[in-house]
Amino acid sequence: PLPEPFRVPLPVPPVARPVGTDPGGAELYRITQRVAEQEILPGLRTPVLGYDGIFPGPTIESRRGRPVVVTHRNELSVPTVVHLHGGHTPAEHDGWPLDLVLPVDGAHDGSGHHGMIGDSVVGERDYRYPNEQRAATLWYHDHRMDFTAPAVYRGLAGFHIVRDDVEDALPLPRGDRELPLMICDRSFTADGAFAYPGVDQSMRSLPGVDPEWMEGVLGDVVLVNGAPWPVHEVDAARYRLRLLNAANARRFQLVLTLPNGENLPMQQIGSDGGLLAAPVEHRSLLVAPGERFDIVVDFSLVPVGTDVTVVNALGTGSTSQVMRFRVVRPARDDSRVPDVLSEIEPLVPAAGATVRTFEFRRGAVSGHSGWTINGESFDPDRSLADIPLGQVERWRFHTDVHHPVHVHLDQFQVLRRGPGGPVDTDSGWKDTVDLPPYEVVEVAVRFTDHTGRYVMHCHNLEHEDMAMMATIRTV
């Protein structure tokens, strides 16, 4: 039986503490990837693959312009790769899917990757993040070729928040009134283990899921920061919620529902790439896997004692609820949402700008039904696009079924969706954009600073593991 919703308090992942500073001023962190047991469902122990043994992993808080080096140590029995999603990261630190961190104890030599091993190391790897980017909610997660989905499902995901002075100067809610919320769905076995329908439970050599999950793996338990349908007591005041959809395949349509059936407005202040130019009000918010929405909710609009339930309008049964806020006390609140949040440089493709088309479709992958981009499955050695730095290009994404498309290295801007302009959830700098069936989405992209080999892919993690990923190169 599933646990009762709204009983478990909302956990907030601990903020990682730097272990030192290098001579160049970079802050140093150490994270150990290991298996640990965590009580997720009341009374049961769930083995998690955790950054520092916890799910979600520790939150890294960094400042724009101050580099961070994270040394990841792999004490698991399988190789790993760490990617900072949304990071403006040099290629060698971006988590190329074959740049493996092999287990420290030699338990796995990386074989099983089609003989293709990138720049792999045993035991530990330093990932250097320059943080030369706007303040934003980023997240880090596993990105090993063919095995991203089971690794993230079992716990390898955490927040990385970049802050800057521009944002600090705004009167937004902060401190206890700023919460990162990692939302995902999972299924569990009767004894509390994550039930991932992979064909190879050891995640050692055989990729893939049971054919019935080829569209993407869905669970029946909704977790927020690793707790099932949690409850959080709040002041009657504004809160800043940094929403992240970390589900493998589920899209959530979030509505803040009151007991009388009405709902509370959400002021969106930021998206994947940080603050918007101006706030956008939503009554419901569609969040696809990989996307972040930064919202402010004013709990003083309802009487003390009110339960505000976060509902998933796309869910059924147990997945139609997400969590609950309980407004427990009146409070003083000096925060507000300014009309102007930040400056966003519009990306305007020039008249003769390069146009590239990427088709995300079902297709044959080595004779089996799989997922492709432009008819091809992921080939690390073949670039689908060589993109000169500094040019604004027009990219068109075509699709068959739903695919949340994610591009590494730089955020982009949505220019067009279907026959019309962008919709209100497309505002700001995006790095992941939801493609509804048969809709063409056009974005303006511009890569800067770093040349090298990166990927773009579907962030439905089962699709990604089934090779819906492409190599792109910045030159």
Contacts of residue 175, Cβ cutoff 8 Å, sequence gap at least 6: none
Q: Does residue 460 belong to the site contacting Cu ion (CB under 5 A)?
A: yes
Chosen from Cu ion, ligand C2O, none, partner binding at 251 (C-beta under 5 to 8 Å by type): none
CA atoms within 13 A on the CB side of 74: 29
Helix (H) or strand (E) holding 432, with range, is: strand 432-435
Task: Give the position of tokens 């707790």.
Answer: 227
CA distance 86 to 139: 7
User: Of Cu ion, ligand C2O, none, which one does residue 240 interact with (CB within 5 to 8 Å by kind)?
Assistant: none
| Longest CA–CA separation in the chain, Å | 63
Residue in 276, 270, 225 with CA at minimum distance from that of residue 246:
225
Instruction: For residues 326 and 311, give the distance between their C-alpha atoms in angstroms, rounded to a whole number.
Output: 14
Cα 409–Cα 79–Cα 96 angle in degrees, nearest 5: 20
Nearer to ligand C2O, 125 or 408 (CB): 408
Contact flags string 344-383 toward Cu ion, x per CB under 5 A:
----------------------------------------
Structure tokens given for 466: 């089934």
The answer to whether 292 contacts ligand C2O (rule: CB under 6 A) is no
Only one of the segments 16-24, 179-187, 332-340, 452-460 lies at the binding site for ligand C2O (rule: CB under 6 A); that segment is 452-460
460 binds, among Cu ion, ligand C2O, none (CB under 5 to 8 A by kind): Cu ion
Place of tokens 């989905």: 149
Q: Which of 475, 472, 469, 465 is nearest to 216 (CA)?
A: 465
DSSP 3-state of 186 = strand
CB of 261 to ligand C2O, least distance (A): 36
Burial class (CB in 10 A: 0-12, 13-18, 19+), 23: exposed
When binding is defined by CB under 6 A, the residue of 64, 72, 85, 93 that contacts ligand C2O is 85
- CA dist 191 and 39 (Å) reads 11
One symbol per residue from 410 to 439: x for binding Cu ion (CB under 5 A), - otherwise; what is it? Answer: ------------------------------
Residue closest to 208 by CA, chosen among 268, 148, 154, 292: 148
* Residue 108 binds which of ligand C2O, Cu ion, none (CB < 5-8 A, kind-dependent): none
Residue 290 contacts ligand C2O per CB under 6 A? yes
Shortest separation between residue 85's beta carbon and ligand C2O, angstroms: 3
Q: Smaller CB distance to ligand C2O: residue 85 or 430? A: 85
Q: Which does 154 bind (CB under 5 to 8 A by kind): ligand C2O, Cu ion, none?
A: none
Stretch that binds ligand C2O, among 293-301, 353-361, 390-398, 453-461 (CB under 6 A): 453-461
Nearer to ligand C2O, 186 or 459 (CB): 459
Binding mask 404-443 for ligand C2O (x = CB under 6 A): --x-x-----------------------------------
Minimum CB distance to ligand C2O, residue 357 (Å): 20
Size of the site for ligand C2O (CB under 6 A): 10
Interface stretch with ligand C2O, choices 7-15, 327-335, 352-360, 455-463 (CB under 6 A): 455-463
- The reply on whether position 251 binds Cu ion by CB under 5 A is no
Q: Is 457 in the site for ligand C2O (CB under 6 A)?
A: yes
CA torsion, points 182, 184, 188, 192, in degrees to nearest 10? 0
Q: Minimal CB distance to ligand C2O: which residue?
A: 85
Angle (nearest 5°) at CA 383 between 382 and 389: 155
Q: Is residue 83 near ligand C2O by the rule CB under 6 A?
A: yes
Given a contact cutoff of 8 angstroms between Cβ atoms, the answer to whether 266 and 242 are in contact is no
β-partners of residue 21 are 27
Query: Within 394-413, which residues bind Cu ion (CB under 5 A)?
Result: 403
Q: In whole angstroms, what is the distance from residue 281 CA to residue 72 CA?
A: 39
Site track 152-171 with ligand C2O (rule: CB under 6 A), x = hit: --------------------
In DSSP terms, 312 is beta-bridged to: 254
CB of 183 to ligand C2O, least distance (A): 14
309: buried, middle or exposed (CB in 10 Å: 19+, 13-18, 0-12)? buried
Region of 249-257, 310-318, 420-428, 459-467 interacting with Cu ion (CB under 5 A):
459-467
Distance of alpha carbon 272 from alpha carbon 133, whole angstroms:
12
Task: Give contact residues for ligand C2O (rule: CB under 6 A).
Answer: 83, 85, 141, 143, 290, 406, 408, 455, 457, 459
Q: What is the contact surface with Cu ion in residues (CB under 5 A)?
A: 403, 458, 460, 463
